[in-house]
Amino acid sequence: MVVVMAAEATASEVDHVVNVVQEAGGEAFVSRGEFAAIIGLSGDIERFAATLNLPSLPGVADVVRTSVPYKLVSREHRHERSVIRVAGVPIGPDTLTVIAGPCAVETPEQTLAAARMARAAGASLLRGGAFKQRTSPYAFQGLGEVGLKILADVRAETGLPVVTEVVDQRDVDLVTTYADMLQVGARNMQNFPLLQAVGAAGKPVMLKRGLSATIEEWLMAAEYIAQRGNLDIVLCERGIRTFESATRNTLDISAVPIAQRLSHLPVIVDPSHSGGRRDLVLPLSRAAIAVGADGIIVDVHPHPETARCDGPQALIEQDLRELASVAHHLSPLVGRTLTPAPAPGPR
Ligand code: PEP
Ligand code: MN
């Protein structure tokens, strides 16, 4: 059970709820998010619910009682599926949102060219990593703040809001000043201090599923973000590790409808990091749209042969028209509108 305090609740109202619960023999864990305090309760939940009348205590906005361990992100808590807005661009049940861009920001020219490719492919958001989390310590780790500045310049030029990864809790403030949406990568899905920090950052978060994470673990990771007061979370299925070696990862397509049934959060698919092969990106994109994904996120690169990261999975110029056509033609068949790109120019 979780008690959500009103934004204007005072510290003494929070203390009062804690005291009431402790006097009844329970435990209360207070988490102070940017917008509101959230109190997690454990102990004899049935008795708390029956006798304490928590919703009537001063300062209490909501009492969330669900049978699942992830509370705030669960469909039991919020029946309607959520729409998350990234600088005004919607991701949700009525739309299909395409996010595209380079795996990593390398140069201003490469990033601008990739952003133009993204627009041509029907994308409304630009992806691109300035901080990269790489399996090898010898691989390109990203340009850091220089890369963030390039992304901001390219956003100003193309109008595409920016989705970019934050890999370290210490960089959350920095990345938040540039990003429109923060990405938490697969390898960081259970980096709990990072999840809490992005939960307090006040920007939407895209949470990738961990390489070996169950759907429940993925939703619990989202709960860490939500528990800090940020429910603007988009889940991203990016393939999981299996015995199969023909693909980089195995796209778990059934995770999309399952996560959508268990959680009200939007679920998108990354066909680039799951297949790891350019020739699979379009077929997997079709599968993702057909299964009901709320969006896709794809790698594009003007010169994949020289890419410093993930060149073999990046779409090239010749693929863009087909991706745009897939997104345009399939979205109405699944009852969705393709999210248009914001107009170029200053916001
Ligand atoms: C990425 O999207 O750039 C990335 C590193 O993906 P993942 O965390 O899913 O491996
Ligand atoms: Mn990549």
CA of 179 to the centre of ligand 2 (A): 18
| Tens of pLDDT, residues 262-275 | 999 999 999 999 99
96 lines ligand 1 (CB under 6 A): no
**Residue 104's pLDDT band (boundaries 50, 70, 90)?**
very high
Stretch 289-294: mean pLDDT, rounded? 98
From 99, 183, 208, 236, the mutation candidate for ligand 1 (largest count of ligand atoms within 8 A of CB) is: 208
161 lines ligand 1 (CB under 6 A): no
Residue 209 CA: which ligand 1 atom is closest?
9
- The CB density around residue 171, as the number of other CB atoms within 10 Å, is 18
Q: What is the pLDDT of residue 67?
A: 84
Q: Report CA-CA distances (Å) from 97 to 141, 175, 265, 268.
A: 28, 22, 14, 9
Residue 133 CA: which ligand 1 atom is closest?
5
Percent of the chain with pLDDT strictly greater than 70: 99
Q: What is the pLDDT of residue 347?
A: 63
Q: What is the pLDDT of residue 35?
A: 75
How far apart are the C-alpha atoms of 330 and 95, rounded to whole Å?
11
How far apart are the C-alpha atoms of 292 and 222, rounded to whole Å?
20
Kindly list the structural domains of the chain, giving each domain's residue range(s) and its CATH number in brackets, ordered by start.
Answer: 2-64 (3.30.70.1140), 84-338 (3.20.20.70)
What residue's CA is closest to ligand 1, atom 10?
A: 186
Region of 239 please: left (phi>0), alpha (psi -120 to 50) or beta: left
> How, if at all, do strands 95-101 and 2-5 pair?
unpaired
How far apart are the C-alpha atoms of 17 and 182, rounded to whole Å?
33
What residue's CA is closest to ligand 1, atom 9?
A: 186
Whether 212 has a pLDDT exceeding 70, the answer reads yes
199 lines ligand 1 (CB under 6 A): no
Higher-pLDDT residue of 253 and 23 is 253
**Residue 48's pLDDT band (boundaries 50, 70, 90)?**
confident
248 lines ligand 1 (CB under 6 A): no
Average pLDDT of every residue of the chain: 95
Q: Report CA-CA distances (Å) from 3 to 12, 54, 60, 61, 325.
A: 15, 8, 7, 8, 46
Q: What is the pLDDT of residue 308?
A: 96
Whether 50 has a pLDDT exceeding 90, the answer reads no
Higher-pLDDT residue of 229 and 284 is 284
209 lines ligand 1 (CB under 6 A): no
Element (H, E) at 192: helix 192-199
Cross-strand bridge partners of residue 85: 90
Stretch 173-179: mean pLDDT, rounded? 98
**Residue 49's pLDDT band (boundaries 50, 70, 90)?**
confident
CA of 274 to the centre of ligand 1 (A): 9
208 lines ligand 1 (CB under 6 A): yes
| Tens of pLDDT, residues 138-158 | 999 999 999 999 999 999 999
264 lines ligand 1 (CB under 6 A): no
> Which of 130-134, 268-272, 341-345 has the weakest average pLDDT?
341-345
Q: What is the pLDDT of residue 289?
A: 98
Whether 16 has a pLDDT exceeding 70, the answer reads yes
| Tens of pLDDT, residues 59-81 | 999 998 888 999 999 999 899 99
Strands (E), the chain: 2-5, 27-32, 37-42, 60-64, 84-86, 89-91, 95-101, 125-127, 162-165, 181-184, 205-208, 233-237, 267-269, 295-299, 337-338
Percent of the chain with pLDDT strictly greater than 90: 88
Q: What is the pLDDT of residue 346?
A: 61
What residue's CA is closest to ligand 1, atom 6?
A: 185
Q: What is the pLDDT of residue 130?
A: 98
Stretch 118-126: mean pLDDT, rounded? 97
> How, if at all, do strands 84-86 and 89-91 pair?
antiparallel
How far apart are the C-alpha atoms of 141 and 126, rounded to whole Å?
19
